[in-house]
Amino acid sequence: MTETGHKFDPTILREYDIRGVVGTTLRAADARAIGRTFATLVCRQGGGKGRSRKVVVGYDGRLSSPELAAACVAGLVASGVDVVDIGVVATPMLYFAVWHLDADGGIQITGSHNPPDYNGFKLMMGKKPFFGSDIQKLGAMAAEGDFEVGSGKVEKKNVLAEYAGRLLKDVRPGRKLRVAWDTGNGAVGVSIRAVVDRLPGEHYVLNEKVDGTFPSHHPDPTVPKNLEQLIAEVRRRGCDLGIAFDGDGDRIGAVDGKGRILWGDQLMILWARDVLKMRPGATIIADVKASQALFDEILRAGGTPLMWKTGHSLIKNKMAELGAPLAGEMSGHVFFADTFYGFDDALYCALRLLNIVAGAKESLATMRDKLPQFVNTPELRFECAEERKFKIVNEVKARLKKADAKLSDIDGVRVSTPDGWWLLRASNTQAVLVARCESANEEGLGRLKADLKAALAASGVALPDEAAAGEH
């Protein structure tokens, strides 16, 4: 049956999620249409027509989230799907609930680490990420008013006890640690106590209260400024380490006992070594932005490194395809599938880091000092017109191939030279180009930056001297 269609602002239908500015590009009517269309897709998924379908809905602590959640739930039930409403949760707790309740899908209403006026939707069809062409299809179906009609039921459920119990199941005994945690007023604040109160050692939680205005700092641990408060707490309390989360708890940040940041690829080295002890030879996946040190260390620890495209949905799918027990991104999305579900749960990742530190004689700071040392740029991001960004990368790639350069083109171009490597790729989510360079020394890094600059200049693009780092 065809009803009146609903047109979304096209900018909100993104690669990995639906996201917009509340009241401007994203309204309750959009949330309702997302619910109706997603439920329609769920109903048509797989066989067993007529059987009841169940979708779990959760939302973060943003001020606009309850209203958007209510509208989305109304849309789901109007298309005949039953809803389990698990209330305010971090995104990974929603993922957990989908597995735990064996639901047909899940929707998390979250603006992740974006400013308070943003909000959005992360979707799961069955146990798989729903992204890319799925999201475009959802937009097209909504525009046509292609909705199933029905009347689903809504049930409220709190899964915190089960969730915390599951995370704690993988905690290994070890020395007692003193740990500072910064939940950044994000949704991990809901679950942090249920976990840390049952851990050995001493735990200090900052910004625990869920507050969608993010009064202390922006909840994005890839930006050093956002870690300053945590670093101060680690030093003041003499902690072994500090852990931070992004606004919806699917990305982790960490600092050692000296208050120094460990980036996603550095943490991945520690986790990879740990996982490979139990799973020798296993494939470990990291994105194209990761340091060469990570790929080298996976190999040295007896694993099979695999470089893959940036993007948490893409990594998750590759991991499932290969049965890889661990994958991770520079951005702090890390996925454990050795004893866990394979989704990005930063609180779970934190426990796996605590296991390593608690089980070692040396400190995290010492482990960090022993990591292979490279000099690299952070992730450099600079604006580029949406319609030009992929073209530029393709032009650069074509010239390099002609010149017989050694490169990987899994995602953009990652060029290897005797000095190290440089990367150029187009962001899937923003009108920006992303670059990174890494070398064994400063001189090499200088030459790589010059190579990158020249490659861009040939396409008429100037690499800004101080390209903005961080942000996603």
Residue numbers at the binding site for Zn ion (CB under 5 A): 112, 246, 248, 250-251
Asked whether the CA dihedral 472, 209, 212, 234 is positive or negative, the reply is: negative
Question: What's the CA gap between 133 and 332, in Å, rounded?
Answer: 25
Residue closer to Zn ion, measured from CB, 79 or 91: 91
Residue closer to Zn ion, measured from CB, 148 or 250: 250
Residue closer to Zn ion, measured from CB, 112 or 226: 112
What the block records as the tokens of 257 is 């006992």
Residue closer to Zn ion, measured from CB, 184 or 325: 184
Q: Which residues are CB-neighbours of 71 under 8 A, at least 6 positions away? A: 28, 29, 31, 32, 35
Residue closer to Zn ion, measured from CB, 248 or 297: 248
Asked whether the CA dihedral 449, 455, 457, 461 is positive or negative, the reply is: negative
Tell the residue number behind the tokens 């990995």, with chain if given.
16
Q: How many CB atoms lie within 10 A of CB 234?
A: 26
Residue nearest to Zn ion (CB): 112
Question: What's the CA gap between 160 and 175, in Å, rounded?
Answer: 27
Report, in Å, the least distance between residue 353 CB and Zn ion: 18
Contact 307, 287 (CB under 8 A): yes
Report, in Å, the least distance between residue 215 CB and Zn ion: 19
- Among candidate residues 98, 25, 145, the one with its CA nearest the CA of residue 345: 98
Residue closer to Zn ion, measured from CB, 252 or 357: 252
Residue closer to Zn ion, measured from CB, 248 or 265: 248
Report, in Å, the least distance between residue 14 CB and Zn ion: 13
Q: How many CB atoms lie within 10 A of CB 128?
A: 15
What the block records as the tokens of 167 is 């995370």
Question: What's the CA gap between 158 and 240, in Å, rounded?
Answer: 33
User: Which run of H or of E encompasses 383?
Assistant: strand 380-383
Residue at 277: amino acid letter: K
**Active-site hit among 64, 65, 112, 291:** 112
Question: What's the CA gap between 331 and 295, in Å, rounded?
Answer: 16
Determine whether 112 is an active site residue: yes
Report H helices in 201-337.
Answer: 228-237, 264-278, 292-300, 312-322
What the block records as the tokens of 450 is 């010059």
Query: What is the gyration radius of the CA atoms in the chain, in angstroms?
Result: 22
Residue closer to Zn ion, measured from CB, 251 or 273: 251
Report, in Å, the least distance between residue 62 CB and Zn ion: 12
User: What's the residue count for the chain?
Assistant: 472
Using CA atoms, how far residue 245 sits from 76, 112, 215, 252, 460, in Å, is 30, 10, 15, 5, 38
Report, in Å, the least distance between residue 160 CB and Zn ion: 19
Contact 109, 68 (CB under 8 A): yes
Contact 355, 171 (CB under 8 A): yes
Report, in Å, the least distance between residue 333 CB and Zn ion: 8
Q: Which are the catalytic amino acids?
A: 112
